[in-house]
Amino acid sequence: MSFSKNFLWGGATAANQVEGGWQEGGKGVSVSDVICLSSHGSPRVISLDLSEQCYYPSHKASESYYRFREDIALFAEIGFKMYRFSIAWTRIFPNGDEEEPNEEGLKYYDELFKELKKYNIAPLVTIQHNELPLNLAKKFNGWASREMIDCYLKLCNVLFKRYKDYVTYWIPFNEINDLGFPVGLYLHGGIIPDGLRYCSNGREVDSPQLRYQALHHVMVAAAKAVELGKKINPNFQFGHMTCHITQYPLTCNPDDILLTQQQDLVRNCFCSDVQFYGEYPYYIKRYFADNNINVEITEDDRRILKDNPHDFYSFSYYMSICVSSNPDAAQTSGNVMGGASNPYLDVSEWEWQIDPKGLRYTLNKVYDRYHVPVMITENGLGARDELIDGKVHDPYRIDYMRKHIEQMREAINDGVELIGYTPWGCIDLVAASTGQMSKRYGFIYVDADDYGAGTYKRYRKDSFYWYQKAIASNGEDLK
Ligand code: BG6
């Protein structure tokens, strides 16, 4: 067995990290537009009124807003069958609370969809990827308020009706479990508590109570989106999307084993359990009680969650961590959270542990739990690249990808129903954790530095040709 002949090979981006053009076509300001550039290890400062003297990476990003035709032509040249991207909410409803959508914003996406269709590339649309209108964050304290559900459904209604003939696969929320981590409070939840200044892991303020109430509203909104979408087009497929932080016990000490199990359930399984089984799982009650969290859930919420499960499971996978009950265990960094370091694994320059076999382990774990089709909607290596004479030699990225694809094949042989793979940042874009352009994931190099200086010309990296061959051979030729 190997990859099915309809396997969805592709790549992924998000509007706030790739588009730029932050004030074009009537676009409003999103929560991402007011976050400054930082570097590895320093938190990103949030400047709600843009007063801080800093560089705001989302304003230019990769300038795909101006170059999307060229970018899509390059994706087609690689051989993409699927392109995952997000729709910037603030292009459609600039402040989030207008009655009517912004036609100019919709026209931009009309063109993007047409361009994809021209090359037979299936869109995988993320409806919300850190792009909440800043106005809604200020007005309602973001998803902490139930009012957000209607604002979000108004957006869904417009998108589902307008693009019903273009799209089959939707992801209502990127990394829905991000609200389970402090980093999700502002970026995902649009929650602005007093004193908010930082949005990455070192942030100063947190409110688990607000985060989990917000997460509840998000999950109800996602279920309502499924309900609405299936009425508009019964063929729509909705994907749960989790930031899967794969965790291993550092030792066989039962304390490590128990801690790993508890963290895995709360961090990785909670949202998908709700979205596939339609109710809050037993273990979350104790977590809420231990952390003084009291989530308000109505009878109607319970019905909506029960009646509208998602269709497929998708996740981002970059790295794994270890869990240790020993506070002195050596630590490593990671996506949304770090953990104890694993002596068997190498790390990237940003200290994310590289663990291809962890991908096979994770695929088996999630398929065993839900038995629904699975997509890997983010994966990749953030690394520095050098452009020399128009070329970028990136053997480290090829090595990372090869080893992960080999493990995907193993998982398929294990029996996992893996249907798609959209590696992250298929074209270089600005990083979410730091805003750096120099943390590159792409097969396509974008000539710009961290401060937005450069020609923004696109160049094919060595990995571009490698991935092209991998797709052409349906995952067989990974040399
Ligand atoms: C995921 C996000 O958590 O990780 C992306 O969905 C993000 O938006 C990706 O870009 C990689 O993280 P970073 O910080 O390297 O961009």
Q: Residue 263 in contact with residue 320, Cβ under 8 Å? A: no
Q: Catalytic annotation on 378?
A: yes
From the candidates 175, 204, 386, 406, give the one annotated as an active-site residue. Answer: 175
- DSSP bridge partners of 421: 9, 376
Q: Quick one: pLDDT at residue 198? A: 84
Confidence of residue 31 (pLDDT cuts 50, 70, 90): very high
288-317: average pLDDT = 98
CB under 8 Å to 66, separation ≥6 — which residues?
20, 21
Name residue 478's amino acid.
L
Radius of gyration of the chain (CA): 21
Four-point Cα dihedral 246, 252, 256, 261, nearest 10: 50
Confidence of residue 292 (pLDDT cuts 50, 70, 90): very high
Confidence of residue 337 (pLDDT cuts 50, 70, 90): confident
264 CB neighbour count, 10 Å cutoff: 19
Token representation of residue 215: 């997460």
DSSP 201: T
Q: Does pLDDT of 202 surpass 80?
A: no
State the distance between the two ends of the chain, measured CA to CA, in whole angstroms. Answer: 19
Q: Quick one: pLDDT at residue 13? A: 99
Of 374, 405, 253, whose CA–CA distance to 322 is shortest? Answer: 253
303 CB neighbour count, 10 Å cutoff: 12
Chain centre distance of CA 210:
21
Q: Quick one: pLDDT at residue 96? A: 98
Name residue 461's amino acid.
K
Confidence of residue 41 (pLDDT cuts 50, 70, 90): confident
382-406: average pLDDT = 98
Q: Quick one: pLDDT at residue 429? A: 98
Q: Quick one: pLDDT at residue 464? A: 98
pTM above 0.85, yes or no: yes
Q: Residue 378 in contact with residue 423, Cβ under 8 Å? A: yes
Cα 432 to ligand 1 centre (Å) = 5
Residues with CB under 6 A from ligand 1: 14, 17, 174-175, 243, 316, 335, 378, 382, 424, 431-433, 439
Of 394, 272, 250, whose CA–CA distance to 327 is shortest? Answer: 250
Name residue 242's amino acid.
T
Cα 342 to ligand 1 centre (Å) = 21
Strands 444-446 and 418-421: unpaired
